[in-house]
Amino acid sequence: MIQIRCHGTIVAGRRILVIGLLALLSGPALADCDMERGKSLYNKCAICHTNAKDAGTLVGPNLYRIIGKKVAAAEDFVYTDEMVAYGITWTAELLDRFLESPLTEVRGTSMAFAGLRKEADRENLICYLTKTADATED
């Protein structure tokens, strides 16, 4: 289970509500993180994944606003039967478990990634994905 540290940063307008609701729905609070470290970690993901609203897929599905989405739900991506059977909604906690060891969490996934062993790395990546998606909202 991950816990992203909160330092009381205030975000303008609807973003506070969005972040607060995501925190309630996802488990760990989505607050401050090391965005530079998160971006550096995302660069590993960017080889196969996009993270923008209308970016589509590459080798893997688009990660834009992944928290709250149903697992294996991207219409423009073909998932393994095992990933489809996983069939639950992505939360920060579930994504944390998956990123720690994708091949262990979902045996039969086509994601050829060993995982992120360090909890802080997973925290920063999940926070980065969430904050960069929030930053694109109006």
CATH code of residue 21: 1.10.760.10
- Count the residues in the chain: 138
CA 22/CA 132 separation, integer angstroms: 14
pTM (2 d.p.): 0.73
CA 91/CA 66 separation, integer angstroms: 8
Can you give the residue range of the structural domain that contains 115? Answer: 14-135
Q: Is 102 part of a structural domain of the chain?
A: yes
Q: Is 95 part of a structural domain of the chain?
A: yes
What is the rounded average pLDDT for all residues in the chain? 79
CA 12/CA 76 separation, integer angstroms: 33
CA 54/CA 118 separation, integer angstroms: 31
Torsion of CA 99, 12, 137, 40, to 10 degrees: -40
Question: Mean pLDDT, to the nearest integer, of 15-22?
Answer: 40
Total number of domains in the chain: 1
Query: pLDDT tens, 3-13?
Result: 344 333 333 33
